[in-house]
Amino acid sequence: MYILAIHGSPRKNGNSEILLDTFIKGIFQALKDFSNRFEVKVEKIRLPELNFSPCKECGGCEVKKECVVEDDFKTFLTPKIWNSDFLVISTPIFFYSHTSYVQAFFERFQAFWVRKYVWKLPHPLEKVPKGILFSLGATKGAKLFEGLIRSYKYVMDAIYGNYVGGLFFRGIEKKGDILKFPEVLEKVQILGKEIILLPESSWSLNRELCP
């Protein structure tokens, strides 16, 4: 099992990165508790450290069946995305959506969408990846996460996968504020354990479109 964990905030070691690290800690705890009986590889990548552009709408993928823009998305991220069984994104909310790093990442899935819906090709490794989201914002807005979740459903569909749910937190603003909420971190860590040890129906995820 390969878990690709993507961090989308420009703030290093901020709240969304702490969430993602805590989730990964839960995964490793589960593996340790069961003497590494499961074969699991986890890789964390911070999007702001990569060099890639948003979709240029050049139409190259409609001819070549794959993205033609040669940058870190194509050479570094694409093989990892195809290989992933879990694609986990952790992003803060910026202006009621994900960050522009995450937006650029999502836009590049257009070439995968073209592969699936225009060329009618299968997943290259015949996988059905599961998408999980972690997100947080400073305010208490009722629809704070709706835009992100709607986008991610389409993103996961483009890679023949499914968005399975996420964990979302409001009222978290300053760097490290999330550490003041041990119950939040516990929830995220437990989810890391659950995805290794339990069937999907038992994962403590929020599956609503507007959590």
Compute the distance between CA of residue 80 and CA of residue 47 in angstroms, rounded to an integer: 13
Find, among 145, 150, 147, the residue nearest to 167 by Cα. 145
Q: Which is nearer to ligand FMN, 29 or 100 (CB)?
A: 100
Give me the least distance between CB of 19 and ligand FMN, in Å please: 8
Give burial (CB, 10 Å; 0-12/13-18/19+) of 142: exposed
- The site map against ligand FMN for 168-207 (x = CB under 6 A) is ----xx-x--------------------------------
Runs of H (alpha helix) within the chain: 15-33, 60-64, 72, 78-83, 100-107, 110-113, 146-158, 182-197
From residue 62 to residue 101, the character string flagging contacts with ligand FMN as x (rule: CB under 6 A) and all else as - is ------------------------------xxxxx-----
Please say whether the beta carbons of 101 and 10 come within 8 A.
Answer: yes
Q: What mask, x for binding ligand FMN by CB under 6 A, covers residues 9 to 38? A: x-x--xxxx---------------------
Closest to 152 in 3D by CA, of 170, 169, 165, 141? 165
**Distance between CA atoms of residues 130 and 123, nearest Å:** 13
Residue 34-63 contact track with ligand FMN, rule CB under 6 A, x = bound: ------------------------------
- Which of the residues 130 through 149 are near ligand FMN (CB under 6 A)? 136-139, 141, 144
Radius of gyration of the chain from its Cα atoms, rounded to whole angstroms: 17
To ligand FMN, the closest distance from the beta carbon of 139 in angstroms equals 3
* Shortest distance in whole angstroms from residue 141 CB to ligand FMN: 6
DSSP state of 118: I
| Chain contacts with ligand FMN (rule: CB under 6 A) | 9, 11, 14-17, 92-96, 136-139, 141, 144, 172-173, 175
